[in-house]
A and B are shown apart, each in its own frame.
Chain A
Amino acid sequence: GQQVMQIPQYQHVQEGEDFTTYCNSSTTLSNIQWYKQRPGGHPVFLIQLVKSGEVKKQKRLTFQFGEAKKNSSLHITATQTTDVGTYFCAGGTGANNLFFGTGTRLTVIP
């Protein structure tokens, strides 16, 4: 069945350092979405990528969708304490549901 894996599972960084999480799907995706869940909160939509090789930026966040549309990455430049949380990718296959990744929990040390 459909699987979406993320690495690393956990990441501790010093404030100001960069952070990257990687998302890999076992099948080709029609789109990929990224969500952020703060500790004790609920997932909040960040962005969606649709095109092969697409790159999108949101301030210090850069999102990429692989050429084969089976992998994606989220890169945060110069992390801040407000970046703390778990980042989930979610792959869409053209049907109605999303397959959420396993998540990467980011801790930022001040």
Chain B
Amino acid sequence: EADIYQTPRYLVIGTGKKITLECSQTMGHDKMYWYQQDPGMELHLIHYSYGVNSTEKGDLSSESTVSRIRTEHFPLTLESARPSHTSQYLCASSDHGVAGGYEQYFGPGTRLTVT
């Protein structure tokens, strides 16, 4: 079982509030990722990090921001939540895999509802 944790698991919040979704991993992985996934739909990469002080935007434009001050911690922040941000947010991490591949370990996800 992968050691990657996300809190909170569920969050219902009003429009305009600032929120931070936490993600931590104890595997010492350099690479971490944030995906957005609507129920039953595909995963969209919104942010990733190659290591401490490295952050990049993913394929899907997002109003969220991330930081990577410590290897094990990769929080995602929304400065002003809107109903369009309602979704599931999945955090993942990976190390170098065999032959250049890199298995990603996913956290349990945070289901965000903005009212």
Residues of A within 8 A of B (CB): 1, 30-31, 33, 35, 41-45, 48, 50, 86, 88, 90, 92, 94, 96-103, 105
Q: Which size bracket describes the interface of B in this complex?
A: 20 to 34
Smallest CB gap from B40: residue in A: A105
Q: Collect the chain B residues with CB atoms within 8 Å of residue A88's CB.
A: 42-43
Contact B43 A31 (CB under 8 A): no
Contact A45 B101 (CB under 8 A): no
Contact A30 B31 (CB under 8 A): no
Residues of B within 8 A of A (CB): 31, 33, 35, 40-43, 45, 48, 50, 58-59, 90, 92, 97-109
Contact A103 B103 (CB under 8 A): no
Known contacts A48-B98, A102-B42, A96 near B106 by CB under 8 Å: no
Q: Collect the chain B residues with CB atoms within 8 Å of residue A94's CB.
A: 100
Shortest Cβ gap from A48 to chain B (Å):
5
Expressed in whole angstroms, the Cα–Cα distance for A98 and B97 within the complex equals 13
Q: Collect the chain A residues with CB atoms within 8 Å of residue B42's CB.
A: 88, 100-103
Expressed in whole angstroms, the Cα–Cα distance for A100 and B43 within the complex equals 6
Expressed in whole angstroms, the Cα–Cα distance for A26 and B56 within the complex equals 23
Q: Collect the chain B residues with CB atoms within 8 Å of residue A86's CB.
A: 40
